[in-house]
Amino acid sequence: ILNVEQSPQSLHVQEGDSTNFTCSFPSSNFYALHWYRWETAKSPEALFVMTLNGDEKKKGRISATLNTKEGYSYLYIKGSQPEDSATYLCASPEGSSNTGKLIFGQGTTLQVKP
Amino acid sequence: DAGVIQSPRHEVTEMGQEVTLRCKPISGHDYLFWYRQTMMRGLELLIYFNNNVPIDDSGMPEDRFSAKMPNASFSTLKIQPSEPRDSAVYFCASSSSGYGANVLTFGAGSRLTVL
């Protein structure tokens, strides 16, 4: 069974701070790494999908990097804003490349204080 | 498209009662997933379908849980009889393919409370 782990479990930062958190996954049989953002009382929404070692993706103040050889991905938020408060989930498909069976980490819950 | 539609949004029931959760995936999406969110276990996959056929139900906790997809636009997750430990948020998600890099689109979730 694929084990996807995230750290830290929760994070409290001040508005304007930059922050980052980690997703680790088995480096063998890697196919893709997903990041989702989940706001309270809403549904998870996809941020990025990365497949290649060294991939970097960016959406506004949020960016992500991928290291498939060592099995980790970082999510960075530059100049955090209160609206960035959410749980950030990473996920990776289990099994072959043709399965959409995504296994999620437990998430990192970010709270940005104004 | 209105996205993935789930109903009910909230359900409160008593132990022993039957619960049916419903999902309408995005039109044209061939894959449908049922996930359960709990504090202890996070977001865990219960079952998923491809072209209305169940592919992997290894995450279904026990025989009290069943899921069907009678057609491409409708799926149900049934719990019978329900127990307090089934209290959770149940998400339905759909995807246009089983390709591992395809994103999932989630519904708003059904929050179940079993008293």
Q: A11-20 pLDDT, tens per residue?
A: 999 999 999 9
Residues in A closer than 8 angstroms to B43, CB to CB, are 44, 89, 104, 107
pLDDT digit string (tens) for B59-112?
Answer: 998 899 999 999 999 999 999 999 999 999 999 999 987 777 788 999 999 999
Kindly tell me if the per-residue pLDDT of A59 is higher than 70.
Answer: yes
Mean pLDDT confidence for A31-38: 93
CA distance A6 to A104: 9
pLDDT at B42: 87
pLDDT at B40: 85
Of B48, B105, B107, nearest to A101 by CB-CB distance is: B48
pLDDT band with cut points at 50, 70 and 90 for residue A1: low
| Higher-scoring residue by pLDDT: A31, A95 | A31
For B10, which residue in chain A has the nearest alpha carbon? A41
Phi, psi of B86 (to 5 degrees): -85, -5
pLDDT at B100: 74
The reply to whether residue A43 touches residue B108, judged by beta carbons under 8 angstroms, is: yes
* Segment 37-96 of chain B within 8 Å of chain A by CB: 42-45, 48, 56, 91, 95
CA distance B112 to A97: 33
Looking at the complex, report in whole angstroms how far the Cα of residue A55 sits from the nearest Cα belonging to chain B: 13
The reply to whether residue A100 touches residue B91, judged by beta carbons under 8 angstroms, is: no
pLDDT at B61: 87
First to last CA, chain A: 40
Cβ atoms < 10 Å from Cβ of B85? 11
pLDDT digit string (tens) for B4-51?
Answer: 999 999 999 999 999 999 999 999 999 999 999 988 888 999 999 999
Residues in B closer than 8 angstroms to A97, CB to CB, are 99-100
- What are the residues whose beta carbons fall under 8 Å from the beta carbon of A35, sequence distance 6 or more? A23, A46, A47, A48, A49, A64, A73, A75, A88, A89, A90
CA distance A30 to B83: 37
Kindly tell me if the per-residue pLDDT of B1 is higher than 90.
Answer: no
pLDDT digit string (tens) for A95-107?
Answer: 655 666 888 999 9
pLDDT at B101: 77
